[in-house]
């Protein structure tokens, strides 16, 4: 016989995350209180902190998209700043050489 896989609602997961916070972050105690696997609860907690667990206050698909876009824009800005710095040095070098 195979073990039946239990599915939890997003509301239950959100409440479990709130209970972890109420227990000062003690995942094992919260798992014991809810009679669920500590690993399952730990996975939910990790996802909630990463803002990818639906039903928690941290989760927002729009927010996740904005955070990704922000990360890409910061990378592009860093590259542009490096290019600008290189061009400044090149311009100074050629200006000095032409004199």
Helix (H, G, I), strand (E, B) or coil at 91: helix
What's residue 58's pLDDT?
A: 58
Does the pLDDT value for residue 24 go beyond 80? yes
The residue ranking higher by pLDDT, 49 or 81, is 81
Report how far residue 8's alpha carbon sits from residue 54's, in angstroms, rounded to the nearest whole number: 12
14 and 39 both lie in a single domain: yes
| pLDDT confidence tier of residue 86, bands split at 50, 70 and 90 | very high
2 in any annotated domain: no
Statement to judge: residues 68 and 44 lie in one domain? no
Which structural domain, as residue segments, surrounds residue 67? 61-99
């Amino acid at each position: 016989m195979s073990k039946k896989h239990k599915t939890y609602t997003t509301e239950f997961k959100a409440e479990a995350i709130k209970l972890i916070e109420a227990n000062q972050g003690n995942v094992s105690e919260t798992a014991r209180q809810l009679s669920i696997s500590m690993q399952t609860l730990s996975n939910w907690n990790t996802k909630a902190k990463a803002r990818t667990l639906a039903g928690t206050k941290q989760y927002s698909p729009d927010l996740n998209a904005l955070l990704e876009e922000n990360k890409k824009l910061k990378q592009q800005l860093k590259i542009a700043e490096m290019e600008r710095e290189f061009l400044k040095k090149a311009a100074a070098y050629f200006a000095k050489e032409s004199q």
